[in-house]
A and B are shown apart, each in its own frame.
Chain A
Amino acid sequence: MAKNPGSKTPDPARRMSPVSVVLDLASSVRLGIVLLTVLFVYCAVGSAGIIYPSGGAVDFAFLGIGFRHSMIRQWPIFEMTEFEWFHTWFFNANIALICVNLTVATLRRIRFNAVNLGVWMIHSGIIILSIGSVIYFATKTEGDAPIVRRDVVIEDEGQTLRLPAIAGASGELRGVTYQVSMIDPEWELLSGEDTGKVAYSVNVGVQNELQPYVRQLLAGYPQYTEDVIPGQGRVKRIEGFGGRALVDESLSMRLELSPQDRFWLKDSSVLAVRPAGSRDSWAERPIEGLPRYNDYVDLTATETWPAPSNKYDKPHVVRPLDLAIDAGADDALAGYDVRINGYLRYAFTRSRWEPGADEINPFIEFVVGDGDTINEVAELLAFDEARSSAFSGRVAFEWIEDEAELAQMRSPRRLLVVEVAGTGESLTIEYDPPAGDDDQAEPEFLPLGDSGWSLRVRTNIDGLQMADGTRVPLLITDIRSPEGAEFTRWVFEDAERSMDRHDGSNPDDPHPVRQPDERLLTSYTFEGGLSSQLTVVAGPGIDGVASFYNNQGEIVERQLALDTPTVIIDGLAVRLLRLIPDAQAVPKPQIIPWQQRDQTLDTMRRFAMVRVEVSNGEWSQAEWIPFHRYSFTNPSLAVRTLTNWAPAVFELPDGNRVELIFTRATEKLPAPMVLDEFILTSHLGGFTGETSSIRDWTSVVTFEGDDESGRSISTNDPVEHEGYWFFQSMWDAPRAPSQGDPFGSAGMTFTVLGVGNRNGVYIQLFGCCLSVAGMMYAFYVKPIIKRRRKAAVLAAVEAGEYGEHARARAAAKQERVPEGAGASS
């Protein structure tokens, strides 16, 4: 940006005028430098935050120095995403001033000629880029749309049920339950001329009263639809169906493409409302001013569970929040006051046992361990069989109603009654296990009269843990039959559970464990005693809380004290934390300490939640609602990998029930679209489940009304339709069955496409290209032009065209470097 060498010194009077002062300022290079410096600082702190050395807890260390990192734009006074930080009035004003400075300086200071063409191009390019960016960002719409590969359409007696083909999706039609049980995206056909081809296979379980079965549907091959009866195989191979492929040929079931007509806007927040149980679209109420990065709760102590101690090394501060959510339309909550008065960035709803139940429901919480490094917390409910013990049944909690019960516990009674069927010969044994050591001589067999049967009790297990978590007493006996065979019988109180166990070493006896020999009847009664190795007891029948420990047959009894470790035996201690006789489950949000937060899930707001209060002056109800990434109309679509799904139901005083979710705003796609195919391509060796083995994902889609069908969208290869671009964004990865997801999935049942417009992008591109060309001109063409001009002038001087004096001056100048070339000019 050279000062125009031809410009004259401004008239002093003109220079003093306000207009010229403004113009001088606007064309000042110094102002430009200041504005660029401000832009640099603003970008740096907005994008990277600030990093400062810290002597205490640190986020990271470098060269032995600890540092903390703080993201300024996330501070409560800002609460801004990157996009928001770079669209504040301050940022926009800074960019606008740079453009004004650039324009005025260029027009006033740089003459438009061949030498200055590069600078003109650079400055013009930047201004054009800015104009394009204003258009681009002012009209930007960006989001994503999940599209399911197929729907299952079931028709019965004129009624229709439509289920998304996603494992676990279910619905009911005319009293029959249908559930998508398994999907194989690459089912190899084994029939007829299609043998070897691969099809998308969907299995649907049909739960009716007469004959439950599974129907297999193959996309593109309806002729191969067939039913399978679990445990019996394919229907057409089962006698009685006459070679038919289907159990019920009147039931129509087929696969259809699943249209998607909406997309969900990035970083938006709405409350979505509809009548509870409805399958209608959600009405959306935009949430203005919702924070994102910090926690806001009115009364932390009562609204959330306290964070685990010593988990924070940054102070955890919460603030109040009160946002009125206006009705955008006449939705199911019209007439009610809807407010958001709590926001948690990363929390989940957790139930804790608290006092206040109407009935006795004893709950105890204690720490069991070695009293030093190993400490495990047990939370037990005395009246809930599945929750009355922990650690594989080794620790249990019992509620003692009276002293007799306590006495029985201290001195249990084990009574075995044995009877030889049909003879009247019987024997009653009250078994008292020997105390302590293992060197006891084996007891003698006791004969049952002259029947030839004899028996002895080998040992007892007073609390054998069963598969359902319950504990039952067991007596193990050795029996000799009249034939001389010897076997072991496990005798339970519940005779159905008793069993005979024969020597498994006999190869001719393939079933060493079998039903009890019916010729010898046994029954067992267990009264009192300890059902676990460590039993903690409380209740009206005992003072305070006590523990009973079975130390190799010897019962060690200890009184437990609150918050004080009590040594039971060497290496085993118990510390009582809470005892609640009238416990009830109370759900509240539990804030996750920041160190335990998953960054990706945090970014996706997977664990964000808001507290919504609905009221009408006389009545109010408040609920914590987690963030739902998608507001599907059909809950069957809400697979865990896509979104949370926990709508809060509000029981309105007028009797209506309304469900609410905290989610993102939606917009209509330019046209409904379907996913024809989803193709996964892999590297050498095929897809192994690891991301590194994936080469690409391709969604083959068709837009309604589009001339072209089956358009492929893959990574780096988007598709444009009516002003919107569609990008491959996410996919349905295979997942193993797990708790809460019993079916698991082979994946590839849906795709997620990024959707966005890009108005002004070509103006931006033109500006960029112009500036790049300008830089190259200014740095590499301009010096050539100047050198040629200089050479021409020197040649003319040399030729004497400017006289002898000029030639002498030029010769003298040769010794000095000419000024004005390159970027320094």
Chain B
Amino acid sequence: MKLRALTNSLVGASIAIAFAALVFSMLVSRADRVDPGAEDADFVERLDLAPLEHMAVWSGGRLRSFDSFARARMSLIAGPERLNGLPPSAAYLDLMLRPEAYQMAEVLYVKKKPMRAQFIQALAGSGLDDPEWSERFLETGRVAPVMLQQPAIADLLTRWEMDVVRTAKFAEQIRAASRLMNPQAIGASLAVVPPPSGDPKQPWIPLTEIWAPGGSFSEPGSPLDALDDALRGEISASFSGFASAWRARDADAANTWLARFESLLHDVAPEVYPSEQHMALESLYFKASHLTWVWLIYLISAAMLLMATVYKWDRARWLGLGVFAIAFGLHTVALCWRWYVAGRWPNSNMFEAVTTAAWLGTAMIVVVELLARKTPMRNVFALCGAVASILGLMSAHYIPQLDASINNMMPILHDLWLYIHTNVIIASYAVIAMAAVSATMYLVRRAVGGSPDYARVGGAAALMEAATDASGEPARRSAGEVLDGVTMVLMELAFVMLWAGIVMGAIWADHSWGRPWGWDPKEVFALNTFLVFLILVHVRLKVRDKGLWTAILAVIGFGVMVFNWGVINFIIAGLHSYA
């Protein structure tokens, strides 16, 4: 027995170490790398871009940190990978200050791989279809702006634009990237000077009002006319100095001028300038990849909890719950961090819906796990919560359609029911995902020959029974009973919340769109998800193999929910397409 325990310990420790190494390597790989090329390496290394982290840029009706704004823009221009290894804010400035360096450089990002293949196909026989380039392009998706001028590519883009249903958006993405990297467009996008009047209803002033590649200039009727001449001159001179130093690759001078420029911007209208702390936290939030990598920590906890469940290994249980608590803590930090940066509870776009749903589900699972601590179902809830959070956070981390940028909410979302209806619905979706985890485990168990057990006491009643044996330990139940019981507890929660959420949505729709129910696809598929659980409840009454049918229908319900969130949202767009 001792040997077996030792083996188990070694296996567990090895897995834990492997996961820790994986986390460390992934975090390191995401750290800021500077690899701009030999001639620029020294310049970039000595650059101090800290002022950009608390400099504000006005865009889309809100203030963002320069760093986060540049990060979003560079993602549109050059894709998710860094351009020449430069931090996004430095790359964005470099595109504006040294445009000549990028004319022939592979900068523009073509996101879809099939589209990259069509690019290469279009260039076949033109003399530009160098195999080395083709391979590199397929891998990186980046193409030089001059390539868009090639007749074959121009023709290809025109053909894409003709198909507004399927391909026009890809052509528009490439053209938009090309427009966005224009130095004038970059200057015009950088509205960094607050309105001198300090009026929050006045627009902020773009860089192009104080600086141009040929030197500073003043247009009559500029919004800066209201600004004190001396301050205006200093602002203009400091950015010009910064631009000159940047072009001359004089890092020390550039650092000095940038710090000066950033400090002067505060003086224009201190009453409307956001706090340094707010901007810095926003920059850091995006630099830290919005903490969606916490899925890795959930993964470690899931591995531990799985071992605890399968091997009944108490140490793994405590270790797993500990790591789960750390993951949930970090998840909570991520949520609150975004809440603070956005100035509102994060539940108004797909990224926020998925990450907040995962958090709400996990928060509920913490409560349920506490309630179930004396039952045979303990550990399994936390395991389900960890797996559902892995799915949610991985989706947010890797699926580009889940845009993490923070924007103003559409007017229709400014309503108390957004917070009630949306959170209840997304929490129910999270619980549905968790129920699908235990259901899948049940199905796997049955697939490998497990007995057709099911929970004699279903749902919340099982928790209330607090089935313990005489010694106070959880009563012994078969794995089938435990997994089926967990599915039923979660299914009950999802059942009530989903129906209540649908009703709340109808109340909101009634006073927002003029009708409680409009049969739009998002509504219908929320109802369809509920119908699956309604069928589950009644099927369980009639069939002999209750555990099997419960598990099958729980997984189907999860599938319908994912279909609603994925296919309906992104392909069969309805009125809810913004959420």
Contact = CB atoms under 8 A, between A and B. Distances in A.
Interface string B168-188: 000000000000000000000
A362 B503 CA distance: 68
A373 B152 contact: yes
Nearest to A373: B151
Contacts of B537: 823
A75 interface: no
A690 B464 CA distance: 54
Contact of B513 (A754, A776, A822): A754
B464 A787 contact: yes
Contacts of B567: 48, 51
Contacts of B407: 692
Tell me if B's interface is mostly helix, strand, loop or mixed: helix
A823 B540 contact: yes
Contacts of B461: 782-783, 786-787, 821-822
B516 A598 contact: no
A186 to B, nearest CB: 11
A716 B420 CA distance: 14
Interface in B9-61: 58, 60-61
A643 B6 CA distance: 79
Interface string B449-470: 0000011111111101101000
A33 B168 CA distance: 45
Interface in A795-825: 817-819, 821-825
B202 A758 contact: no
B2 interface: no
B60 A692 contact: yes
A755 B514 CA distance: 7
B528 A44 contact: yes
Contact of B166 (A60, A142, A771): A60
A40 B525 CA distance: 9
A715 B415 CA distance: 9
Contacts, number: 233
Interface centre among B165, B200, B568, by most chain A C-beta atoms within 10 angstroms, is B165
A822 B527 contact: no
Interface in B424-458: 454-458
A782 B534 CA distance: 19
B412 A715 contact: yes
A817 B467 contact: yes
A85 B458 CA distance: 38
Contacts of B62: 683-684
Contact of B510 (A682, A755, A758): A758
A465 interface: no
Given A695-B414, A822-B457, A764 B467 contact: no
Nearest to B150: A373
A784 B457 contact: no
Interface in A147-200: none
A685 B61 contact: yes
A783 B464 contact: yes
A822 B538 contact: no
Contacts of B542: 29-30, 33
Interface string B396-435: 0000000000011011101101000000000000000000
A824 B457 contact: yes
Nearest to A71: B572
B216 interface: no
A221 interface: no
A782 B457 CA distance: 13
Given A30-B542, A33-B539, A688-B203, A716 B572 contact: no
Interface centre among A754, A769, A779, A818, by most chain B C-beta atoms within 10 angstroms, is A779
A632 interface: no
A563 interface: no
A82 B520 CA distance: 7
B360 interface: no
Contacts of B127: none
Contact of A819 (B456, B462, B496, B500): B456
Interface string B505-531: 011101111111111110011011001
A426 interface: no
Nearest to B491: A823
B535 A764 contact: no
Interface string B150-167: 011001000000111110
Given A690-B60, A758-B510, A824-B540, A47 B571 contact: no
B539 A775 contact: no
Interface in A24-51: 29-30, 32-33, 36-37, 39-40, 43-44, 46-49, 51
B512 A822 contact: no
A641 B520 CA distance: 25
B151 A374 contact: yes
A305 interface: no
A29 B571 contact: no
A40 B61 contact: no
A550 to B, nearest CB: 24
B61 A83 contact: no
Interface string A392-424: 000000000000000000000000000000000
Given A32-B538, A780-B460, A716 B415 contact: yes
Given A684-B63, A686-B202, A779-B492, A59 B411 contact: no
Interface centre among A594, A598, A783, A823, by most chain B C-beta atoms within 10 angstroms, is A823
A823 B531 CA distance: 16
B488 interface: yes
A727 interface: yes
Nearest to A819: B456
Contacts of A448: none
A311 B164 CA distance: 12
B457 A818 contact: yes
Interface string B139-158: 00000000000011001000
B193 to A, nearest CB: 12
A769 B506 CA distance: 12
Contacts of B518: 82-83
Contact of A825 (B458, B524, B531): B458
A691 B60 CA distance: 8
Contact of A688 (B61, B412, B415, B572): B61
Contacts of A761: 510, 516
Contacts of B573: 599
Contacts of B415: 716
B515 A758 contact: yes
B58 A684 contact: yes
B450 to A, nearest CB: 19
Nearest to A3: B541
A685 B464 contact: no
B495 interface: yes
Interface centre among B151, B539, B541, by most chain A C-beta atoms within 10 angstroms, is B541
Interface in A596-615: 596-599
B519 A595 contact: no
Contacts of B517: 133
Contact of A596 (B164, B191, B534, B546): B164
B499 interface: yes
B201 interface: yes
In order of increasing CB-CB distance, the 3 nearest A-B pairs are A824-B458, A683-B61, A821-B461
30 contacts: A33-B539, A33-B542, A44-B525, A47-B520, A69-B572, A142-B514, A142-B515, A595-B165, A599-B165, A685-B201, A685-B202, A688-B61, A692-B60, A693-B60, A715-B414, A716-B414, A717-B511, A718-B511, A754-B513, A756-B515, A769-B503, A779-B496, A783-B459, A787-B464, A817-B465, A817-B467, A822-B457, A822-B461, A823-B459, A823-B495
Interface of B: 58, 60-63, 114, 151-152, 155, 162-166, 191, 195, 200-204, 407-408, 410-412, 414-415, 417, 454-462, 464-465, 467, 488, 491-492, 495-496, 499-500, 503, 506-508, 510-521, 524-525, 527-528, 531-532, 534-535, 537-542, 546, 563, 567-568, 571-573
Given A1-B538, A373-B152, A715-B411, 11 more contacts: A44-B525, A82-B520, A683-B408, A690-B60, A692-B407, A715-B412, A716-B508, A756-B514, A822-B458, A824-B459, A825-B458
